[in-house]
Amino acid sequence: MVGAGKAAAAMACAVEEHWEGELSGLVVTRYGHGVACQKIEILEAAHPVPDAAGNAAAKKILALVSGLTKDDLVLFLGSGGGSSLLSLPADKIALEDKQVITNALLASGAGIGEINCVRKHLSAIKGGRLALAAAPARVCGLLISDVANDDPAIIASGPTVADPSTRGEARAVLHRYGIDIPKSVEAFLDDPRSETPKPGHPQFENVKNFIVANADDALKAAARKSQEGGIPAIIFDCAVEGGAREAAAAHADAVRAVLKDSIRPQCVLLSGGEVTVTLQGGGTGGPNTEFLLALALELGSKSGVWAIACDSDGIDGGGDNAGAFLAPDTLKRAQTQGLEPQDYLARNDSYSFFNALGTLIRTGPTRTNVNDFRAILIDLCSQDH
């Protein structure tokens, strides 16, 4: 058993608990997300920018699956974060070059599919290459999805999935966002060896991948909980993508539509997916707090509306928080403290804004990852208690 992602250690423990028979292996997870296992070695590495520990872990995983036979079975446990944790650069690409590329892409506002397209083509283990290394063994991927539409080729950059994207598309992503390409990366993308194995490759005949949890599961569970409490729930969208500010505008429109609908005095709007931030200032904050600050400005001091936006893994971007909380009096409290929300948003400093108000949400690592979670409570009967 091998694996990578923020949920990988918890998944390994679950497999150990239910597996009957021989079992060995290694998984790598983010620093602070480890869980002690009996048979499986747990390593920790950096996320979202790869480090030497992830590089070493990926090498060990590739060595473990090499030299197997058709009578062997490889379980791959994959979840969000696996792309940076399996940080084994392709031949002649230095780890430092991958770090530069990753930092630039994360700051550019590129979507996760675009980022992972690049990652796959610069890797010796992602984009289906782990499955090729394990051949002729049987390979079973068990995946917790943190991506819209649960595409297994994007989750953790698809180490066990034939890759439909091309090196030309990877190069196009880098050009689209004006990324300065290191010479080693430029040379590798010019080389046909940088192409990933494609669907129809015969060595994927013994490979199967299964989605075992996703955002839809989480949102349906939240909807059931809300309804048990007597408040109707509407799943607005389980696969939100794009910029945090644009997503906030769309959610604000949905809130205004509900407020006009007098037959819904109470309801909860739920959404999942993953939004991005294009860094334009030097502030601190992740996509969830940026979404929430933009939503506050879109709605103004709207009576009867509360909201939370959190990453289900407990980490919003690179901060120590999962997200934040918004109340009808948030902007009023900010004004009282001399905080200018527009200024904070302009410099991507949403963390500092909500921290000053004491409304950051800190859960610590949850050891799972089904993407962002947003809930907007609309209660026209309240007095904003």
**Rounded to 5 degrees, what are φ and ψ at 360?**
-70, 150
Instruction: Compute the average pLDDT of residues 99-121.
Output: 93
Instruction: Compute the average pLDDT of residues 357-369.
Output: 97
Q: How sure is the predictor about 261, in pLDDT bands with cuts at 50, 70 and 90?
A: confident
**β-strand 73-78 against 25-30: which pairing, if any?**
unpaired
Reply yes or no on whether the pLDDT at 385 is more than 60: no
Residue type, 94: A
Q: How sure is the predictor about 263, in pLDDT bands with cuts at 50, 70 and 90?
A: low
CB of 13 within 8 A of CB of 35?
yes
**β-strand 138-144 against 233-240: which pairing, if any?**
unpaired
Look up residue 188 and give its two tokens.
């590798």
pLDDT digits (tens, 9 = 90+) for 313-346: 999 988 899 999 999 999 999 999 999 999 999 9
Q: Classify residue 197 by its DSSP letter.
A: P
Sheet strands side by side (includes 73-78): 40-45, 25-30, 2-4, 73-78, 138-144, 207-213
CB of 286 within 8 A of CB of 308?
no
What pLDDT shows up at residue 305?
95
pLDDT digits (tens, 9 = 90+) for 300-318: 988 899 999 999 999 998 8
Structural domains of the chain ordered from first start: 2-213 (3.40.50.10180), 215-379 (3.40.1480.10)
What pLDDT shows up at residue 149?
86
Reply yes or no on whether the pLDDT at 208 is more than 50: yes
What pLDDT shows up at residue 182?
92
Q: How sure is the predictor about 244, in pLDDT bands with cuts at 50, 70 and 90?
A: very high
Average pLDDT of every residue of the chain: 94
Q: How sure is the predictor about 219, in pLDDT bands with cuts at 50, 70 and 90?
A: very high
Look up residue 244 and give its two tokens.
């945090």
CB of 112 within 8 A of CB of 154?
yes
pLDDT digits (tens, 9 = 90+) for 122-156: 999 999 999 999 999 999 999 999 998 899 999 99
Q: How sure is the predictor about 107, in pLDDT bands with cuts at 50, 70 and 90?
A: confident
3-state class of 359 per DSSP? coil
CB of 353 within 8 A of CB of 321?
no
Half-sphere exposure of 84 (CA within 13 A, CB side): 24
> How many C-beta atoms surround the C-beta of residue 131 within 10 A?
27
What pLDDT shows up at residue 64?
97
CB of 25 within 8 A of CB of 9?
no
Q: Classify residue 204 by its DSSP letter.
A: G
What pLDDT shows up at residue 302?
82
Half-sphere exposure of 333 (CA within 13 A, CB side): 13
Cis before residue 152, ω within 30 degrees of 0? no
- Say how far apart CA 84 and CA 324 lie, in whole Å: 25
Reply yes or no on whether the pLDDT at 265 is more than 90: no
Q: What percent of the chain has pLDDT over 90?
A: 88
Look up residue 267 and give its two tokens.
């309801």
CB of 53 within 8 A of CB of 117?
no
Instruction: Compute the average pLDDT of residues 82-101.
Output: 93
**β-strand 25-30 against 40-45: which pairing, if any?**
parallel
pLDDT digits (tens, 9 = 90+) for 195-206: 999 999 999 999
DSSP-assigned beta bridge partners for residue 75 = 140
Instruction: Compute the average pLDDT of residues 348-367.
Output: 97
Q: How sure is the predictor about 350, in pLDDT bands with cuts at 50, 70 and 90?
A: very high
Cis before residue 48, ω within 30 degrees of 0? yes
Sheet strands side by side (includes 266-273): 233-240, 266-273, 372-379, 305-311, 323-326, 360-361
Q: How sure is the predictor about 209, in pLDDT bands with cuts at 50, 70 and 90?
A: very high
